[in-house]
Amino acid sequence: MIYFSTNKSSIPVSIKKATLEGLAPDGGLYIPSEIPHFSDEELLLLEGATFNNIAFAIAKKFIGGEMPLDLLNDMIEGCYPFETPIVELNKQTFVEELFCGPTLAFKDYGARFLARLTGFFAAEEEKLITVLVATSGDTGSAVAYGFQGIPNTRVVLLYPSGKVSRLQEQQLTTAGGNVHALEVKGDFDDCQRMVKQAFIDHDLNEQLTLTSANSINISRLIPQSFYYAWASLQIKEKYGYNDPLFSVPSGNYGNLTAGVMAKRMGFPIGRFIAASNANNSVTRYLDDGRYEPRPTVTTRSTAMDVGNPSNFARLKYFYGNDFTSMGKDITGTAVSDEETLTTIRLVYDQFGYIMDPHTAVAYRALERHRTDSHSNNAGIVLSTAHPAKFLEVLQDALDKEIEIPSRLLNVLEKKKIATVINPDYSELASFLNGL
């Protein structure tokens, strides 16, 4: 399969080149030339399959021919030794817990796959790859742990100072080794802007081989489709529901884009609810077709604080730049901080279940959709992080002590190591040239 840019002015490339470049030379995002489709017979064969079996079936359609299938299978087994639980809150509402990986966040699914694939391709090319990442929290820690010790790679993480939780910051600044953290005195959009500028800086790219581990990298996005496919088949097999709703906490919109890809592959998925916070540029676009990004607003669901999401370019491409067409699959809903805290309390009181703020945004959006549409379709809420990663928010929402997993307690004891820079591209370029 070949991959081409959403801007349509770069030469189509292989998955290897798309992975190692991250961003296309014309500044666009790579997308597959076609979304591979699973026939009814293929889906029938996947009934009762394990998560890793489903992941392999998807991965080989995108990557087959670029990597021996036995190595691809081994890579997936190494990526996902953990469970992906689906918790039933009531007969119509389920939570897919995507926080059982090493950093307790959904970004582990994409980062671990991308790290191993990048390492494989870098070894083939005999290159040192510099992985450049902008993060609003969980991407940075997942990439730090995913790439830690991967040969032929080094990682530079940019995160907004004071705008990630303490646990997230500790995770992404204490990995050490081939991982470097840059604390940017700005917001996530500043971090993302500088990363994009680095990729189109001709002089810098003459010196370094750059790639990205953000969801702008197609090989970070593909593995995120695995858990949509898994959940849709599990809900059908165990509960008899076809085409469930997926409510997706949405910041940079990579998670939602991966879901759209899974639906187009043929997995039994209904609509999507794009759950946003006050950073609601896509929600407003779905209302009236006008895309007008605004400066990032800081909220209690910090990982979703993205004013100008990168993956919107892919969504527009998939739907022919037609908001009406996009609206047939996706409903946009914005949730306030007050609603987020109230939802955390209500869900705990009703079900005894503790949600992190991003999961609470998605749950509230699902409930609002059901009210507005006068329906009660089966819905799956994607839970993107362990609640202990957002203790400050949980303490405000619940009068309850939150148990912190030992792997998070251990990281709190480590010494933070980060270089502070201004949101000025010249400072990033200087750092990279000095590596």
Q: Which are the catalytic amino acids? A: 107
Candidates 225, 241, 252; CA nearest to 84 is 225
Q: Which two tokens stand for residue 427?
A: 């400072």
DSSP assignment of 274-287: EEE-S--HHHHHHH
Question: Is residue 284 a contact partner of residue 277, using CB atoms and an 8 Å limit?
Answer: no
Distance CA 368, CA 142 (A): 31
Contacts for 300 with CB less than 8 Å, ≥ 6 apart: 277, 337, 340, 341, 357, 393, 396
User: Is beta strand 3-5 parallel, antiparallel or unpaired with respect to 30-32?
Assistant: antiparallel
User: Is beta strand 93-97 parallel, antiparallel or unpaired with respect to 86-90?
Assistant: antiparallel
Element (H, E) at 96: strand 93-97
User: Is beta strand 209-212 parallel, antiparallel or unpaired with respect to 129-134?
Assistant: parallel
The 3-state DSSP class for residue 276 equals strand
Q: Cα–Cα–Cα angle for 13, 209, 137, nearest 5°? A: 95
Distance CA 73, CA 259 (A): 22
Question: Is residue 274 a contact partner of residue 283, using CB atoms and an 8 Å limit?
Answer: yes
Q: Which two tokens stand for residue 253?
A: 């919109």
